[in-house]
């Protein structure tokens, strides 16, 4: 059984061969960039401010108004909420032996009295051009499993630097069809593991961004 997450599946779909060398074999460790460091710091600041009422560092005061709006929403605030599901889509611990799917929600606000929840994923990118709501979809599906009283979820990718929000809405009655779509995606990745076939998927990113030099599409080998 192959454990997966949104980011893991997206990496596979981008290029199975790159995924194999980088993620499966671990031949090319991820290099921490300044943008990644900034994103980590921003996530931690938001987690502390919304979840624990700690002061917001001066460098992130520009997002205070938006975070205050989130704090004002009625419901239990769950920051950096780790979610796990078994293969039969039952909630489990993030590190349980039978965990099959893993996801982390930056902020979940659960109002079981109103059967509604909000989920927010913070983004520090400068543009929403390539925003992917698939992550929100999977997080919403996981929240429905963990909190069975929830019937309706409002979700958003909050681009704090670009000052934009990509919103989505999910209802419990649509869960079956949505899971069907993701299970088909997962099946393709699982098949690659079973057959040990990792075909390259060339794109404009190969030459400047792919670390897998042995690939014929890299251009730098």
Question: Is residue 91 within 8 Å of residue 145, measured between CB atoms?
Answer: yes
As a whole number of Å, the CA-based R_g of the chain is 19
In this prediction, residue 221 carries a pLDDT of 57
Which pLDDT tens digits describe the chain residue by residue (221 residues)?
Answer: 789 999 999 999 999 999 999 999 999 888 788 889 999 999 999 999 999 999 999 999 999 999 999 999 999 999 999 999 999 999 999 999 999 999 999 999 999 888 999 999 999 998 888 899 999 999 999 999 999 999 999 999 999 999 999 999 999 999 999 999 999 999 999 999 999 999 999 888 787 778 888 888 876 65
Q: Is the dihedral of CA 63, 105, 165, 210 positive or negative?
A: positive
In this prediction, residue 111 carries a pLDDT of 94
In this prediction, residue 97 carries a pLDDT of 95
The model's pTM: 0.92
- Start-to-end CA distance of the chain, whole Å, equals 34
User: Could you give the CA distance from residue 81 to residue 107 in angstroms, rounded to a whole number?
Assistant: 7
* Domain residue limits, the chain: 33-178
Residue partners of 218: CB distance under 8 A and separation at least 6: 206, 207, 210, 212
Name the residue among 140, 24, 153 with its Cα closest to residue 83: 140
Q: Quick one: which H or E segment has residue 164?
A: strand 164-171
Q: Architecture of 33-178 per CATH?
A: Alpha-Beta Complex (3.90)
Question: Is residue 106 within 8 Å of residue 46, measured between CB atoms?
Answer: yes
In this prediction, residue 203 carries a pLDDT of 86
């Amino acid at each position: 059984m192959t454990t997966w997450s949104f980011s893991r599946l997206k990496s596979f779909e981008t290029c199975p061969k790159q995924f194999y060398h980088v993620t499966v074999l671990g031949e090319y460790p991820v290099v921490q960039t300044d943008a990644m460091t900034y994103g980590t710091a921003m996530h931690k600041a938001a987690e502390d401010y919304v979840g624990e009422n700690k002061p917001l560092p001066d460098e992130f005061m520009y997002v205070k108004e938006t975070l205050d709006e989130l704090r004002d929403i009625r419901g239990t605030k769950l920051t950096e909420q780790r979610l796990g599901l078994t293969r039969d889509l039952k909630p489990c611990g993030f590190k349980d032996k039978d965990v099959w799917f893993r996801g982390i929600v930056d902020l979940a606000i659960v109002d079981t009295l109103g059967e509604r929840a909000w989920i927010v994923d913070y983004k520090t990118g400068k543009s929403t051009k390539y925003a992917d709501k698939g992550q929100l979809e999977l997080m919403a599906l996981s929240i429905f499993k963990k909190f069975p009283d929830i019937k309706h979820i409002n979700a958003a990718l909050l681009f704090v630097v670009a000052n934009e929000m990509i919103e989505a809405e999910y209802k419990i009655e649509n869960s079956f069809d949505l899971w069907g779509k993701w299970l088909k995606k997962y099946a393709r990745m699982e098949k690659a593991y079973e057959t040990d076939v990792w075909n390259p998927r060339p794109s404009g990113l190969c030459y400047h961004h792919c670390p897998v030099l042995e690939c014929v599409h890299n251009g730098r080998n």
